[in-house]
Amino acid sequence: MIPTVEQVREMLATKAASLTVEREQLLAVANFLKTEPQLQFDFCSCVTAVDYIKQDCIEVVYHLYSVALKHGPLALKVRAPRALEQCRVPSLTPVWRGCEFQEREAFDLFGVKFDGHPDLRRILMWDEFVDHPMRKDYVPPMDYEWEPTPHGETLARAKAQGGVVPASVLEAKK
């Protein structure tokens, strides 16, 4: 549901202006916020994703400012399910070009796919990498150097994986 100008103005007067929309209305709301003459949110400052594993969703947050009218920020939030196949959100790169690289980063690190993005591929990790490392359930590969006193989490994981030295290195040494 597209908000009215008065509602947005009221939000902006508070300390943390935030607007949560459904995926289907995201493009319409974004275009409204950008083109409406009294709002003119022409500067999309920050795009990021947050993994709410307990609520089983990933939330993509867009922070918008206005260069023409010098107000902001307004946080535009949209949620998508965590499962990789259903984690899709419409891309706002056609509206604000500055979202291009940041949406690619959200795809790379969280696995959120942006429909309508001109060039959606990995940006920070190498192309052959398959995991999405910033998700809360990501397990990094076990390649710790042996520490003189491995303790806590390191020691527990090392024991679970059968030793502090990676198995592939021991194999190659034989």
Partner 1 sequence: MSATGIIETQTLEVSLGPQHPSTHGVFRMDVVLDGERVVKLKPVMGYLHRNHEQLAEKMAWLGSMPYTDRLDYFCSMTNNWAYALAVEKLAGIKVPERAEYIRVIMAELTRLLNHSCAVGFLFSDCGAWFTPILYALRERERILDFFETVSGARMMCNYMRFGGVRVDLNDESLTMARDLVVRWPAFLDEFEKLLLANEVFLARTQRVGILPRELAINASISGPMARASGVEYDIRKVDKYGVYDRFDFRVPVGEKGDTFDRFMIRILEMRESVKILEQALRNIPAGPFIAPEVKLRNFRVPAGDGYGRIEAPKGELGFYLVSEGGAKPYRYHVRPPSFINLTVLEDMCLGHKVADAVIILGSVDIVLGEVDR
Partner 2 sequence: MAVDPKLQSDLQKQGVFVMPVEFLYNWSRKSSIWPVQFGLACCAIEMIAAAAARHDIARFGAEVFRASPRQADLMIVSGTVTKKMAPQVVRLYNQMPEPKYVIAMGACAISGGPFKDGYNVLKGVDRYIPVDIYIPGCPPRPEALLHALMTLQEKISKQHLNEARWYKKETPAEFPVPQYGAHDLEPPANPKVWEPPKK
Contacts with partner 1 by CB under 8 A lie at: 16, 18, 42-46, 48, 50-51, 61, 63, 67, 70, 73, 75, 96-102, 122-126, 133-134
Task: Report residue 46: phi and psi, to 5°.
Answer: -145, 130
4 vs 136 by CB, closer to partner 1: 136
Contact partner at residue 16 from partner 1, partner 2, none, CB < 5 to 8 Å by partner kind = partner 1
Task: Report residue 48: phi and psi, to 5°.
Answer: -150, 170
98 vs 150 by CB, closer to partner 1: 98
Q: Residue 19 region, left (φ>0) first, then alpha (ψ -120 to 50), else beta?
A: beta
At 46, list the tokens. 């920050």
17 vs 29 by CB, closer to partner 1: 17
* Long-range CB contacts for residues 9-17, cutoff 8 Å, separation at least 24: 9/38, 11/74, 12/71, 12/72, 12/74, 16/75, 17/73, 17/74, 17/75
Contact partner at residue 169 from partner 2, partner 1, none, CB < 5 to 8 Å by partner kind = partner 2
Cα distance between the two ends of the chain = 64
6 vs 126 by CB, closer to partner 2: 126
* 3-state SS class at 16: coil
Task: Tell me how far, at minimum, the Cβ of 138 lies from partner 2, in Å.
Answer: 8
CA of residue 85 relative to chain centroid, distance: 16
Task: Tell me how far, at minimum, the Cβ of 168 lies from partner 2, in Å.
Answer: 6
Residues contributing to the site for partner 2 (CB under 8 A): 124-131, 133, 138, 140-141, 143-146, 164-166, 168-170, 172-173
Contact partner at residue 111 from partner 1, partner 2, none, CB < 5 to 8 Å by partner kind = none
